[in-house]
Amino acid sequence: MSPLVLAIDQGTTGTTALIFDENLNVLAKTNHEFPQHFPEPSWVEHDLEEIWSSVVKAVSDVLQIANINGKDISAIGITNQRETTCLWHHGPDAKPLHRAIVWQDRRTHQACQKLKKQGLEKLIHRKTGLVLDPYFSGTKLQWLLTNIPQAKAWAKAGQIAFGTIETYLLYRMTGGTHKTEASNASRTLLMDIKSCKWDKDLLKLFQIPDPILPEICDNDVEFGRTKGFPGLPDGVPITGMIGDQQSALFGQGCFSKGTAKCTYGTGAFALVNTGTTPIFSKHKLLTTVGWRIGKKTTYGIEGSAFITGAAVQWLRDGLELFDEASQVEALASSVSDSDGVVFVPALSGMGAPHWLPTATGLMTGLSRRTTKAHVARATLEGVSFQVRELLEAMAKDFGKKIKLCKVDGGGAANDLMMQFQADLLGYQLVRSEILETTALGAGLQAGLSIGIWKSLEDIEKRWHADKVYKPKMSSKLRKQEIARWDKAMKAVTLLSK
């Protein structure tokens, strides 16, 4: 039998499991959603036991769908929602101290503002490549240690463990291995971007005790082996771990400097490979580790729009415009344009390049003629406008024009939105044959580490496109569309002050 790889993509709203072979043929895939918890306005939490159950269920189901035994799995790759912050007790049950604080959560806004007033943002940016924002793990972890009784004492005594989601899953799957890797660690505000090590000055600044931190590893190592994981035999190597957006960059075959991708999921995340030297953004984008392979670090510049697919979920669940998220394209396509409606989907603040944590959603251009179809179309266009801002800022930082962008994620299946995106950008979008490139990237790393694929070039040869979107919009109309968005953004910025 051809060697098989199991990829686990633990995302913000659900867990996807994927099994594929050495030729990138997907044998089976499945997804299991889990509940979101909103205890306060702008607070977003996940129950770690609910996440764990979704992972166990996804793995069990994907093995059953593929009709294979767990012993046939050669390696496991894990990718994850980044920045989401977890604390748990050491021990076989890994009992959580608190729900995980999700990357979308804004509760530490005031803590970030305090650090900015102290003049520390430049220091943090120089060390981490990040901006001071509640998005990242550092202030979330500080909040947990401050607000959970006894947490600080347990942390200093080494009785509890911190990790982002991949670290928590590795701990549960292996019976106690406490490790992370550089792409996830680079999103915590606690790692030096150049050395890829925990930074003592930052740990002191955020009051984080060393004993709770996982070991930072390269991406081409064996992180651990399964032990007591339902449905899998003990001893299956876990040889791939990487943050979801870096994983998508890897899964898209963006191995050379200047190649770019955008993933459309709960949020939209654009990322360009900048090679082995970190580039520090002048346009409020993020410098991040892509991966570390062969003792060399590959870096990227990233921009994030926090609410994209989540905006469609809001149309479904909040406004009840349709029953299934997949119906949004048909509804939006029933009108030829948005009839002047512009929707800025800032339902959880705004990320790059604006960084407005207190921003709220705004819809303009409403009239008596406005229908739910116009609102649906304006929502899809709002996603595309945000992504255009990210890629334009990215090109300025990189110093070269981006000529092509690979796209993936659930939103990339929306032909209407992808065509509008290409029209706004003025260059081609290429959709991957495998939309689950986030899961694929972690699986590719797992297989690369054990020799299923011999090199990055070997992987690149196996990547295939599904569809190419070429821009059709005139430059005059493009300028008019962008001007509408800019006007709406000025209003959002003003209201956020």
175 close to 225: Cβ distance less than 8 angstroms: no
Alpha-carbon distance of 100 to 37, in angstroms, equals 10
Q: What is the pLDDT of residue 283?
A: 86
Q: Which residues neighbour 435 within 8 Å (Cβ) at sequence distance 6 or greater? A: 408, 409, 410, 412, 413, 466
Domain 4-244 has CATH 3.30.420.40: yes
Q: Which residues neighbour 175 within 8 Å (Cβ) at sequence distance 6 or greater? A: 92, 227, 228
Q: What is the pLDDT of residue 1?
A: 64
Beta bridge partners of 216: 180
268 close to 386: Cβ distance less than 8 angstroms: yes
Q: What is the pLDDT of residue 184?
A: 96
Alpha-carbon distance of 250 to 308, in angstroms, equals 22
CA 31 to chain centre: 17
Alpha-carbon distance of 225 to 425, in angstroms, equals 44
- Strands 100-101, 73-80: parallel, antiparallel or unpaired by DSSP? unpaired
pTM: 0.86
Q: What is the pLDDT of residue 74?
A: 95
- H or E stretch including 116? helix 109-117
Alpha-carbon distance of 490 to 101, in angstroms, equals 30
Q: What is the pLDDT along the chain (497 residues), one digit of tens a residue?
A: 689 999 999 998 899 999 999 888 899 999 999 999 999 988 999 999 999 999 999 999 999 999 998 899 999 999 999 999 999 999 988 999 999 999 989 899 999 999 999 999 999 999 999 989 898 999 999 999 999 999 999 999 999 999 999 999 999 999 999 999 999 999 999 999 999 999 999 999 999 999 999 999 999 999 999 999 998 999 999 999 999 999 999 999 999 888 899 989 888 989 999 999 899 988 889 999 999 998 899 999 998 888 888 899 899 999 999 998 889 999 999 999 999 999 999 987 887 788 887 888 999 999 999 999 999 999 999 999 999 999 999 888 888 888 889 998 888 999 999 999 999 999 999 998 887 888 999 999 999 999 999 888 888 888 888 899 999 999 999 999 999 999 999 999 888 77
Buried b or exposed e, range 225-256, using 16+ CB within 10 angstroms: bbbebebbeeebbbbbbbbbbbbbbbbbbbbe
The model's pLDDT over 239-264, given as tens digits with 9 standing for 90+, comes to 999 999 999 999 999 998 888 999 89
Query: Phi, psi (5° rounding) for residue 340?
Result: 85, -5
CA 333 to chain centre: 28
Query: Phi, psi (5° rounding) for residue 264?
Result: -105, 100
39 close to 45: Cβ distance less than 8 angstroms: yes
Tokens found for residue 437: 């490139």
The model's pLDDT over 368-412, given as tens digits with 9 standing for 90+, comes to 999 999 999 999 999 999 999 999 998 888 888 888 899 988 889
Q: Which residue has the tokens 């509640």?
A: 134
Q: Which of 230, 219, 316, 301 is nearest to 260 (CA)?
A: 301
Alpha-carbon distance of 272 to 192, in angstroms, equals 20
Alpha-carbon distance of 418 to 470, in angstroms, equals 10
331 close to 417: Cβ distance less than 8 angstroms: no
Domain-wise residue ranges, the chain: 4-244
Query: Which amino acid is located at 19 in the chain?
Result: I
CA distances from 374 to 240, 315, 335, 383 (A): 43, 12, 7, 14
Alpha-carbon distance of 295 to 298, in angstroms, equals 10
